[in-house]
Chain A
Amino acid sequence: MEQLVLTILTLISLVLTVQAAHALYLMIYTWDRPEAGDRARVPDRRATPALSFTAILPARHEEEVIQHTIARAASADYPPHLVQILVVCSADDVGTIEQAQAQVNRLRAMGRTNVEVVVFDDGPINKPHGLNTALRYATNDVVAIFDAEDEVQPQLFDIVNTIMSEEDVGCVQAGVQLMNFQSNWYSTFNVLEYFFWFRSRLHYHAKNGAIPLGGNTVFFKRTLIERLGGWDESNLTEDADIGLRLSSMGEKVRVVYDDRYVTKEETPPTLQSFIKQRTRWCQGFMQTLGKGTWKLMPTRRQRFLAWYTLAFPHVQAMLGVYLPVALLSAFVLTVPVPIAMLSWLPVLMLGAHFVMSVVGLYEFTGAHGLKATPGTVVKMAITWFPYQMVLSYAAARALWRQVKGERNWEKTAHVGAHRTAAETAELTNVG
């Protein structure tokens, strides 16, 4: 029996170490591979605007931020006649519809007639259904997805026009970045997760042809999305699902990241909303894993990468149990020295993760003209373990919901914490 326990302990330690090392590598992939970093860059020279865009803004209970987002999208540095903006709301969301319509009216008064509010009254009331509804009204070459709280970069259409015109790609994923890294105790790590994901890891997925796309700032050729049959309305992470469906079709996805042109977002304002958001993501990955799209990918490498990514929430749920037990057993359990040493290897990886996060913080703040202080690092050191526990709790909660068959959409609230007061005032009055 003791032998069995030791064997299991050894195996878990080894698997966790390998998994962690790989995950860490993906976090620094583009920093490590200069050529990958080059591939991710925004073209310096821009092509003549040729492609037309339909930007879809799904919104639900976004009264506080929707006007600003519409204004921002409408003020893109791209010929207005090549841009169509569709704000999608469900009929019961009267407040958001009113706010959106008011902004549309202001724009129309200025002669901008390319913004419309699309209202649907059928179910399910969720983002993919909204997207599919809006898709029917989309008339332009390229469909772009933005979230209601997004700080859309004015040059994005120009950049994507250049990429799609000059490269053989039907889908472009541009960078998304949470900005409010000092709002609360978990925001620093949340911001860094986005930073590492969009700045590095997604590029690895794109290169290897197995990419779970992000939920916004993603651009599809309309014919492509129509060929795919739109978004899966039963999936809680329709974005990841559609990315993997694209990959299984052999479609290339171009990931572009430049600190100057990221879409800025905010972390969920409360811990509760953060947990709900994370639960939805984890459950969506679980759903997508069960759906089996990943099995349709052409190569074993692609299938493994997709499976590995989608299965991670399961691992994270188990880590919530394993980590405290492992820490306790490190001080209580008496095992042979080599096994004890081996069982500390995952802890070493956790140390590496923390170092990477601290360096990432300075990279992030340096890139965006913000300032990280030693105090922030101390705060990270204190909150690192609780944050991991929160992530594990959310993953376990997702697993529980998945087992119980609860698939309803838990909406994330937005308050505009990533926007400065000046930006808000300036853009809300556009028109």
Chain B
Amino acid sequence: MLFNSLSFVLFLFIVLALYYSKLFNWTSKKRMLLLSSYIFYGMWNPPLIILLWMSTMVDWKAGKRLAVEDNQKKRKFWLILSMCVNLGFLGFFKYGDFLLENFTALMNSIGVDFQAQPMDIILPMGISFYTFQTMSYTIDMYNRKIERAKTFLDFALYVTFFPQLVAGPIVRAKDLITQFYEPKKATVNQFVWGLFLLTMGLFLKVVMADTLLSGTADDVFSSDKILNVWDAWTGTLAFSGQIFFDFSGYSTCAIGIALMLGIILPDNFRYPYASIGFSEFWKRWHISLSSWLRDYLYIPLGGNRHGITRMYVALMLTMLLGGLWHGAAWTFVIWGALHGIYLVVERLLKNKIHIKINAWNGVLLALLTYTLVNFTWVFFRAREFSTAKNMIGSMLFMNGDGEKILGTFDIIKVFTVITILFLCHWVMRNTSMKSVSLKTSPWILGIVWAIMFFLIVIAQGSGEQFIYFQF
């Protein structure tokens, strides 16, 4: 079920009505939320709920054993079992065809005549998110960082909680499970703010991403022509805006919906396009994934504890795997590699050049960071290397005149939206929407809310899927 759909409006209305009715005690409300979460997921493809159940059962059992087991070998067994099941699901469903394709290419390249039919495996929605979330629980249990979930119901709800089930934020057990222990009820202010966030999230998705930017990005990246520099940049900027609005829109909806239930989810985006440098970018973009990769991949790989070379290797590996997490294609690996290189170069430069950041050079450095990030988005969005190569060539003025496929209005529209986006991020980089709202007149907030609602209604959209559902 998509947040930007009529069925979700009905679903949320029923869930909220039951949640705030006096029919149920807290345990029954949690059961209702769990059942609702399965319905939310099953409305897409019911049989794939079995994967969710299996992941839940394995990690519940592993957590239970790790809570009481002192024998290190047995502890390791339960950890490995959890990782094998979760990564096995991920490997088979997400990377099965990719691995087969590459194996075939490898065999052919060494002269072995091997052909394989693509398996056409269906990618279960949100599998990358919920497997990472459940694994974090078991790894934290293994490292004795958290207590085990008090009841199976609490744990199952942690794995399946519908607002963040299919596209995050990837929430740690200590931040979410404990919230299920005591009855939760949103205050009036929380409920209204949650509803505002839900509207804001839908506005970002339906109006900003789908209506204003997606068409231009699709036109440019689906073109098989060598493009004019303006078209290439417009398409890339449009996609950089689209993916931000799409994904942060989902996260904002998720946070808002959870808040309407009295549950607090962590921020997933903090105005990333105003980042000065790439370390900061990854502290502001998809925060729950980057912190997951830092805690469960980069640090176990050695982090910065074993010298500079090992640190750079760990950094590159983390970013490469982070790239692959996004999709089973080499273009995503290149995307991750570029970010890894950016991070390594940034660290090297930071040791040699010391700049005191002020408002003037800060905005220029943020613009430089954003420009470099745009080159990575080309690989993220392009389905073929040839497309990415042509796009980069056009963006760097290497392709002569190139074809003009966009209208003047499209170019003006995208540059206007992206300029406003960048300036908003810059202005907001040291604050939050909540603190700004507290300083703003309720009348102004009401008018903004009404405008967003009106634009959502006239944009409507055709229920476009969120981009991150495929990851």
Whether chain B is bound by chain A comes out as: no
